[in-house]
Structures are given as structure tokens and as C-alpha cells.
Structure 1
Amino acid sequence: MVPRTTRRSIVALGAGGLALSLALAGCSAGDSESDGGAVELSFLVDNGESTVATAEALADAFHEENPDITITVETRPQGADGDNVVKTRLATGEMADLFQYNSGSLLQALNPDQTLVNIADEAYVDKLDENFIKSVATDDGVYGVPMGQSMAGAMLYNKDIYADLGLEIPESWDEFIANSEAIKEAGVAAPIVQTYGDTWTSQLFVLGDFNNVLAEDPDWAEKYTNNQAKYVDQPAFAGFEHLQAAYDAGLFNEDFASATYADGVSMVATGEGAHYPMLTFAASQLATTNPEAADTVGSFPIPGDDASTFGLTVWMPTYTVFVPQSTEGAKLDAAKQFLEFLTTPEACDIESEANAPQGPFVVEGCSLPDDVPAMVSDLQPYFDDGKTNLALEFLSPIKGPALEQITVAVGSGITSAADGASQYDEDVKKQAQQLGIEGW
């Protein structure tokens, strides 16, 4: 294998990013196929450090097994600017041969039936988790393969506090509040951590409760999309209701209005806080700020009113790989080979090494390393037992942009749960109308 330093060059991208060329020495940049039958693929990913590192590592390993196929990793901006790059390049037929993007509602906005290659008939699709397939499928096809792990909207908790007080994992909201009250009586400063200095963190009591919503009404997401279900009504109202109840009970940290996400993770790690509703990508933050607490911070599902529905709300991998319809011929065959490679244990192991795992894999035969943090390994039994449901954003294109401001107000005692849910229903209505969804 040619050393990485002799195989990487930096070239300018028209979209304003950088391309990290992983071309073989001896192959001229820009040649898609040589006289010997070699194929060069371009692979567009966002410019996040972990994304690029993962894509590079996968491209290296795939090329080593398939020396006639070279992958050039290009980068685009993150966020809205990156969304625009993807949509523009798809619309103009100038998309890279492979590209990384989101599954769920953002994917649906790309009109995948018209822009992406349908891989529903590929054998390796059978290795993908059913929930993942839902997040990359339409009525007419399946369009992506994961590049990374899932994650959950869960309750992070301090295992030492639970052990010292003899507490059991709560499977209902009443049990959770009882545990929190006991923790408060024991003198812990923050039975439940909230961090509204980063407003996005305020949403988890609502978003992470969605497993309980679907457990009670499996058709709720479809009804919601069709303007037939509202947050002001149960079962979805419970998330807002619980957020207000926790505030009213005085269970939050005193500095909840100014504390940040990083503060919240550290509070649970050090025992200053006992619970923190959060996405399990917090494993990366924990490894950065409190690596000594890897076995101290665990996770369990956010409880609902009914213990029988106890299970996880899960988010599919942030990184998903797609092939645009502009990829044809030998390039299409090679691109499909790369997608198949991404469904192998070898690729999953590479992904674990390149980027800290944040939850279980959604590919059959892939397993987490033995040394993952407890908050990640604690999720696996719920996946194994089928006690999971997708987050709403993977089942509906509608998510109102003002949710985090509304949940901050409810969680601060400024707005009631009922008023907050009503405000969010209005926010959702505006977004649905902007998207042109029928029935709104």
C-alpha cells in the first residue's frame, strides 16, 4: 500500500471546500477510468474532522481490497450551506459519484426517487436494521447505507449515585420522579441537569419521549404529517407535561438557564448531577472532558407514563452514503461495491476506530468494541430486545424550527406545558405549509 503522505494532495473545490485526494501514485487526478480498467470515484462528505477521518480510512481500506478502484474524498461545508451544495449539485447533475448526507426528513427533501440510485434489490440491504431502512426509504425504493452507528435520546445518569442510594432503573415517569426526589433528599445539587445556555439541549424531554408516543399510537407520525395529530393532545403532550413537572418540582440545577452542554455532561460525570436527558453522542464529549468517568455515566430510556412502553427513542447514523443517478456505467458498479463494503464488519471496525462510537451499529454482524463507554453499551440490550422506536424526524419531514426556544420557556417556568405545545403546533403548521405538504 502506498504511504498516505504520497497519496494525498489538496485541490480546490468549486463549492468552496477542499478535496482530499486519495488517488494512487501513478494515476492522474481527474481520470475516471484508465486503459487498464481502473475506476476513480469521487466521494463528497461534510468537512467535520471526524467525518473526513472516517471517510479517508474507509477509502483506504476499500482501495486496498479493490486496487482497481480509487476513491477521492471531497469536502463540503456543514449546516445549511452544505445542504445547499448537495441540492445544487444534484439538481445540476454534478454530484460526486458517492456522497454522505442525512437520513430521515432531510433526505426526503432531496426527492430521492428522482435523484438517487435505488439499491432495494441489492443483497446487502438485507443486513440493514429495519429502522434504518425506514429512514432511507420511500414507497418506491431504498437509497442509502450507514457510515457509523445509531444513537439514542436517553437519560444519562450517574451509576455511583444510583448504587449508593440503592436505586433501580425507573421504567415509568412516576418511578423516575421518585428517584429524583430521593436523590434531592440525599443532597445531590442537580437531580436533573438542564443546560439552556445551549438551547438545543432543552428538547430531549419532548423528542426523547417519542418511543412512548409510538408505543401508544403506532400511526401517530403518519397522522401528524397529515395534520391529524397534535402536540396539544396525548400521547405527544406528555413530553411537554413532563418538562414542566420536573421544573415545578425544583429538580433542576440552579444554573440551568446558563449552563452549557459540556457543563451538563461534566455534572453527571462528577456526581454534581444525577440525570441528564441527552443524545448519546455525548460519549464523545465525555471522552474529551471526563474520560475517567467512562464507566460511571450510564444511560436508560426516557420513561413515559406507562412502564409497559419502556424503550429507546433512536436516531439513525448521522452519516449515510448515497449514490446519485448521475453515476453510471463502471462507476456505478464500483460505487455499489463500496456500499456493499460499508455493510461489512471490517468497515464497522474502521468506523469505530476513526470516530468514537455513540450507539449500536445498524448492520447485521457488526458489534461495538469491548471498551465503549457505559452510556453506549447500556443501549445494546434495548436494541437486542426490539425495545426501540425511531425519532420523529426519521418518520416525518415536519419539525418546527422554534421547538428549542419553546422548550426553554416551558422548562424555565415561563410558559405552561399546554401553551408550549400549542405554540409548537402553530410552528409546525408554518413549516408544513412552507414544505407544501398536503392537508395543511
Structure 2
Amino acid sequence: MISHNFRRAMLPIATLGVASMVLSGCASGTSGTGGPGDAGEADGVVTIYGTIADTEAELLEESWADWEEANDIDIQYESSKEFEAQISIRAQGGNAPDIAIFPQPGLLADLASRDYIQPAPEGVASNVAEYWSEDWAAYGTTGDTLYGAPLMASVKGFVWYSPSQFAEWGVEVPETWDELLALTQTIADETGTAPWCAGFGSDAATGWPGTDWVEDLVLREAGPDVYDQWVSHEIPFSDPAIVSAFDSVGEILLNPDYVNAGFGDVKSINSTPFGDPARALGDGSCALHHQASFFDGFIQDPKNGNATVGPDADIWAFVTPSVEAGGNAVTGGGEIVGAFSNDEDTIAVQEFLSSPEWANARVKLGGVISANNGLDPESASSPILQQAITILQDPDTTFRFDASDLMPGVVGAGSFWTGMVDWINGKSTEEVLSTIDASWPSE
């Protein structure tokens, strides 16, 4: 089963700029169920709006079905591919849902800063303090106020490989970035073919897998403080730290001896759909692939060869190593739950969704994980998801949310994506980064 956390891979995300334009000049508003400070009136119905659709939406509703019955509350869920734009329009028009599931912390912060989102109630704040790390809590915080609790999560930066091939070649999982480069060269020498396969193709969102590569290297080379400064544009894309990350990624993705196994030359990366490398991994024509924890669903899909995933199975994965051995920084994604209403029923639903009880209920249904520290890793449906949970729950892990999801949409879901495509097509790093910087919205 494939996690919804790759939703951004298949849908062009409406920009935060849209949200700002919709809301700019508007007075701090109230939702249809009561604005900030208004307790509202519980009626036994709580509406939730989000991007989670199709089978994942069905599993979401299944995850709270028993709780609904026990608490006599009817949770009515609505999904939309236009969530990022519509949630702002609905908030302005007084037609907001009781609760929204935000895939972008920046959009929650934008609405919270304009007094559309209710501060998190005491029970939610207590759950966040007990079951979530400070890094995760920060993504639901604007100023000094907590407005939302994390929901589900994904870990990015896994490198997928075949354990049997590694054994055949006499190589081991690398512990540093330099060891990863050395491993790449060893495989190229052993096989006489390119070791890596990559696919940036994703319709209007083509380019997003490349941003994940760069984000991994910024965090691993420059550290979390520089990463945070980059996300907020305190340092530009043209900063030496970001240039260095691009150069490091380019050692693999721009090297015709290293890519694009099973698909063509370097430029074929842009035309290769992001899910297609699963087939190349499964049939052995590709030795290494960089993609998030959700990719096990693609690997095990019958149309891609139905390979198995596990430490002793057909395909397994290790986290992209840091510059120095023992590094524990990872990037990832997830959602934040915020509310436009604060009646008793809405608060009860918020508290449940921020609890380990809900996290275990949903994860047991398959395909997703959570960073909730009360989650039992054994609840996960696959070994890679169990490993991802362990990484997220490790107190020594430094977690940073996907940078492009935190940046203004015109950049994170616009010029950064297209910049990666231009870079693969041969445009210079300097020109690409200058173009992205020029697209950053002025204050």
C-alpha cells in the first residue's frame, strides 16, 4: 500500500502566495463554525477537510470509526485536490471546516497569523508535549503559540538497493557520503554500467524528487541551522552552502557514468516518471535509487515486478549517509491538524487525532507511519516503515521538514522544481540558483 505522503508528487500544489493574495486586506475573520475566542456550539458533527483521497481516505475514516461510535460524534471527511487554495477561500468566506489537515506547515502558519486558526486546546497541547519531539511541535507553532498537532509522517532520503547484489559485489552499506561515492564507483567498475536510476517525472510537479536530493545534502553538509536559514531565505539559494549541496548531488546525478541505469542518459532523468525506477530495481538493472519511505509500495506493486522489501528480501534501503559517520539528520514530510472551531466535539476529535491511540489505529491499517512517540513500531505494515518509525522516535534524530514544503509555494512548488529540471538539462548551477532566488516573494 502506498502512503499518501507522496501526494505532492502527483499534484501541482497551489502556492502559499495564493493564500496570501486571497487573505490580504481581509480583516481577521471567523469561520463558519465560530472564530477565535468563540466556543461555538457542539452538534455531534465535526467536519474535516484535507488532501488525503481515494483508498487512503477510506482508511482514514476507518481509523476513527470505532471512536466515533463510542463518543457519539459523526466525523465527516472531505478531500480536495485544490485544498491549498480552497482552504484559504473558505476561511475568508466564513465556510471553513471544523478541522483541516495541512500538508504544508507554512499554510497553517499563514492562516494562524491572520487569526483564522484556533490555538491548540489544552489536551492537544499536552499530547504534543508528551508524544512529539520539539522539532515536530515547532511545525505546528506560530510565534509562541501552538496551533496544530502533527498527524502522519514520512522519512525521506532512503537509498534503495539489492542485498543479494551487494553480497555478490562484496560491498557494504556506506556510513559516510564519501563512502557512498566510493561504493558508486565500485559498482560501476564491477558491472560496467551506471549504478543509479532516477526519475523526476511527475506531470506538472516534475522536478520534485531532485529537491529531495538537495535538501538531504544541505542538512547533512551544512547542518540544521543553515537548513533553517535557507528555508526562511535568510541565506539565498546562491549561498556557498547551497551551491555545495548542488555540487555534491551533481557528483551522482550529472555524471553520465553513474546515471540513468535502465533508462538512458542524464537528461532522461526528467522524462522518467518518479515511480518507474521501482521496476529497474526489481529486475536488477538499477543498483541504487534515492526515494522516501513510501517507495516500498511501488517496489511491491505487481506491475513493477512484485519484488519484496526487507533486510533479507529482494530490495532493502539505508538512509543517505551524512558527511561524517554516525550522523543522524533526516528530512521528511507529514501533516499538521489545525482547527477553525473550538466547540467540545471539535476539541475531542483534535485530542484523539494527536493521541497514540489514533496513531496506532491508523498505522495498523497499513501504508503510513507517524512520528508519535507512543506509536508501537510493530504496528507498521512493512519493515521499512518500522525502520522509519524507529528513526523518527529516536531522541537523537535531528528531523527537518521537507524544505520545499516550507518555502513559499511559488518557490517550493514552482521555481525550485523547474530549476531542478533545468539543472539536469544542463543549465549551470549559478544560473539555476539565481533564477530561484529571483522568484522569492518580496516582503
Please indicate the TM-score interval, normalised by the length of the shorter structure. Answer: 0.7 to 0.9
Which structure 2 segments of 5+ residues have no match? Answer: 1-41
State the Cα distance separating 1:113 from its structure 2 match: 5.7
Distance 1:129 1:366 in 2: 13
Counterpart check, 1:302 vs 2:320: yes
In structure 2, relative to structure 1, the CA distance for the partners of 1:179 and 1:343 (3 Å cut) is: same
Q: TM-score, normalised by structure 2?
A: 0.76
Pairs aligned (count): 381
CA contact (8 A) 1:107 1:136 kept: yes
Distance 1:234 1:367 in 2: 41
State the Cα distance separating 1:205 from its structure 2 match: 1.9
Match of 1:292, SS state, is coil
Residue correspondence of structure 1 range 51-66 to structure 2 within 5 A: 51-66=56-71
Task: String of CA shifts for 1:297-344, please: whole Å, max 9, x gaps.
Answer: 33333335x2157334322324x32210xx24xxx2221111221233
Q: Match for 2:46 among 38, 41, 50?
A: 41
Distance 1:268 1:423 in 2: 34
Distance 1:402 1:354 in 2: 37
Counterpart check, 1:185 vs 2:189: yes
In structure 2, relative to structure 1, the CA distance for the partners of 1:66 and 1:162 (3 Å cut) is: same
Name the residue aligned to 1:431. 440
Counterpart check, 1:118 vs 2:129: no
Q: Match for 1:210 among 205, 218, 226?
A: 218
Counterpart check, 1:250 vs 2:257: yes
CA contact (8 A) 2:416 2:436 kept: yes
CA contact (8 A) 1:46 1:82 kept: yes
In structure 2, relative to structure 1, the CA distance for the partners of 1:313 and 1:120 (3 Å cut) is: farther
Distance 2:197 2:142 in 1: 38
Distance 2:69 2:54 in 1: 23
In structure 2, relative to structure 1, the CA distance for the partners of 1:394 and 1:140 (3 Å cut) is: farther
Distance 2:405 2:122 in 1: 22
- Computing the radius of gyration over CA atoms, which structure comes out larger, 1 or 2? 1
Equivalent residue letter for 1:56? E
Name the residue aligned to 2:110. 109
Name the residue aligned to 1:145. 149
CA contact (8 A) 2:127 2:355 kept: no
Name the residue aligned to 1:13. none
Which structure 1 segments of 5+ residues have no match? Answer: 1-36
State the Cα distance separating 1:101 from its structure 2 match: 2.0
Q: Which structure is higher in RCO with an 8 Å CA cutoff and minimum separation 6? A: 2
Counterpart check, 1:281 vs 2:294: yes
**RMSD of Structure 2 on Structure 1 (CA):** 2.9
Distance 1:188 1:276 in 2: 17
Task: String of CA shifts for 1:339-388, please: whole Å, max 9, x gaps.
Answer: 2212333322332244502x5x2112112336643433343454315233
Name the residue aligned to 1:89. 90
State the Cα distance separating 1:152 from its structure 2 match: 1.9
Distance 1:376 1:340 in 2: 24
Equivalent residue letter for 1:237? V
Distance 1:397 1:134 in 2: 18
In structure 2, relative to structure 1, the CA distance for the partners of 1:338 and 1:373 (3 Å cut) is: same
How many percent identity over aligned positions? 16
Counterpart check, 1:377 vs 2:382: no
Name the residue aligned to 1:157. 161
Q: Match for 2:374 among 359, 362, 365?
A: 365
Equivalent residue letter for 2:106? S
CA contact (8 A) 1:299 1:374 kept: no
Name the residue aligned to 1:321. 337
Counterpart check, 1:387 vs 2:406: no
State the Cα distance separating 1:135 from its structure 2 match: 1.2
Structure richer in helix, relative to its length: 2
